[in-house]
Structure formats: C-alpha cells, structure tokens
C-alpha cells in the first residue's frame, strides 16, 4: 500500500521532473504528451500539429518545478519559497507538499529517496 506524502518526508525525498517543459514570461509551461509516451502514441503525436497539452504554472508552482531536479530535497525548497514570496506563501511546507502530491498523482513528478 502506498503511503501518503507528509511534511515529515520533506528531508527524505528529492522530486524529479517527468515531463518536458519550457519557460514563458518567467513561468513554467509543462508539456504533457496528448497520446502518451508509448511507441504508438509518439508516432500518432508526430501526425498532430501540437502533440502536447500545455499546463501553465503560477509563480509559486514555477519555482517549485524548477527546483525539482532530482538533487534538491523538499526541505531545501521550503526556504526558497519563503525567501521569494514571504508571508504570501505560508504555510510554505504544506503548500509544497500539496503541490508535489498533485504532481505525483498526475505522474508529472517522481520521488527519489535521499542518498
């Protein structure tokens, strides 16, 4: 059975991105394949004008997404959020966990254990 991500996991895990993305106007735009990542899906996507769904993140989501490099722990991301957004992002640790949970559920991020 899968265990839910909690605030206590902040030190133990390092999120890594599973989707391609680009930056537009200082914010991240995630590129999710329309037809999946399998061989047939990639082939069919090549026939489309735009083979991706675009998921536009806000400023907070963009900062988190950029930090999800597989080497940065969740605990290291929290002070970055507080430094950049101050009280506007509080409670920063809970917002971070909520964002990561959504990205995990959507298979946009994966978690790696601490080395």
What tens digit of pLDDT does each residue of 95-110 get?
A: 998 999 999 999 999 9
User: Above pLDDT 90, what percent of the chain?
Assistant: 57
User: Is 10 a residue whose pLDDT tops 60?
Assistant: yes
Most confident of 1-5, 38-42, 65-69: 65-69
Q: Which helix (H) or strand (E) holds 16?
A: strand 13-17
For residue 4, give both structure tokens: 């839910």
Domain range annotation of the chain: 7-108
pLDDT at 1 (0 to 100): 38
Interior CA angle at 15 toward 104 and 89, to 5°? 85
Phi, psi (deg, nearest 5) at residue 22: -140, 170
Instruction: Read off the tokens for 35.
Output: 């037809």
Return d(Cα 41, Cα 69) in angstroms, integer.
Answer: 26
Q: Compute the mean pLDDT over every residue in the chain, rounded to the nearest whole number.
A: 83
Report the number of secondary-structure helices (H) and strands (E) in the chain.
Answer: 4, 5
């Amino acid at each position: 059975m899968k265990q839910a991500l909690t605030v206590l996991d902040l030190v133990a895990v390092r999120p890594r991105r599973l989707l391609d993305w680009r930056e537009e106007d200082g914010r991240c735009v995630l590129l999710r394949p329309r037809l999946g990542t399998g061989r047939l899906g990639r082939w069919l996507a090549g026939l489309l004008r735009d083979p991706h769904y675009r998921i536009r993140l806000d400023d907070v989501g963009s900062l988190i997404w950029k930090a999800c490099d597989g080497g940065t722990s969740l605990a290291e991301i929290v002070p970055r959020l507080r430094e950049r957004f101050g009280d506007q992002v509080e409670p920063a640790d809970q917002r971070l966990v909520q964002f990561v949970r959504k990205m995990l559920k959507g298979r946009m991020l994966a978690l790696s254990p601490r080395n």
